Chain A
Amino acid sequence: GAVVSQHPSWVICKSGTSVKIECRSLDFQATTMFWYRQFPKQSLMLMATSNEGSKATYEQGVEKDKFLINHASLTLSTLTVTSAHPEDSSFYICSARNGGHEQYFGPGTRLTVT
């Protein structure tokens, strides 16, 4: 149990376009979802926390207008990278919590902006 999926697993987009990444909890209801970003050879950096039905809380230094997060249901959160640029190329990972204190991580989405 406690499976989190992400779609797509990898995406290539052109500079200036927007790309949406989906995060789904497959067998539980996720009251809280988290989005992380990881650059090569670095650790995961928390970008934002989202609770179902409310606005996301962004970590310091993360542009909320660039990284749009929607958590419209208890099983789905989306991250939209708007006007993507090559420096946004990264590994994006979501995780979900079901009201308990365990956090379950998705497999990640690799974004490459050309």
Chain B
Amino acid sequence: DAKTTQPTSMDCAEGRAANLPCNHSTISGNEYVYWYRQIHSQGPQYIIHGLKNNETNEMASLIITEDRKSSTLILPHATLRDTAVYYCIVRARDDKIIFGKGTRLHILP
């Protein structure tokens, strides 16, 4: 069973920051928060992951609350190509990836 809760869908205007929330209130101390996205009819693409500190890479930023029970993925300047289903996944390092339903993000022109 997925260990995360995400909104079913979200809209964001092109050029604005897209903030995608994720609740993972039962996360264990050795579990990481991972984000993947899936553009229509493609395989999932890794975005970012973190344990407890905030993380940033060329694609996105990941903000994890201090109690680690929730996190937010931030796409700083959304483009139409960011339209996809975004999956927040909680797993220990060697665990298999189990996908939940994800958030369908629509970037509006």
Docked complex Cα distance between A25 and B29 (Å): 31
A49-B96, A95-B97, A101-B93 known; A107+B102 contact, CB < 8 A: no
Q: For the complex, is B50 an interface residue (Cβ under 8 Å from A)?
A: no
Docked complex Cα distance between A45 and B97 (Å): 10
Please determine whether B43 and A93 come into contact, CB atoms closer than 8 angstroms. yes
A contact residues around B43 at 8 Å (CB): 4, 6, 93, 95, 105-108
Contact-residue size bin, chain A (C-beta under 8 Å from the other chain)? 20 to 34
Please determine whether B41 and A46 come into contact, CB atoms closer than 8 angstroms. no
Docked complex Cα distance between A93 and B41 (Å): 10
Please determine whether A105 and B44 come into contact, CB atoms closer than 8 angstroms. yes
Convert B62-101 into 0s and 1s, putting 1 for each residue whose CB lies closer than 8 angstroms to a CB of A: 0000000000000000000000010100000110111111
Please determine whether A107 and B46 come into contact, CB atoms closer than 8 angstroms. no
**Interface SS majority for chain A:** strand
B contact residues around A36 at 8 Å (CB): 99
Q: For the complex, is A44 an interface residue (Cβ under 8 Å from B)?
A: yes
Q: For the complex, is B57 an interface residue (Cβ under 8 Å from A)?
A: no
Give which listed residue, A34, A44, A93, A104, contacts B46 with CB less than 8 A. A104
Least CB distance from A5 to B in Å reads: 10
Q: For the complex, is A87 an interface residue (Cβ under 8 Å from B)?
A: no
A-B contact pairs, 10 of them (CB 8 A): A6-B43, A43-B100, A43-B102, A46-B96, A46-B97, A46-B99, A91-B41, A93-B43, A105-B36, A105-B45
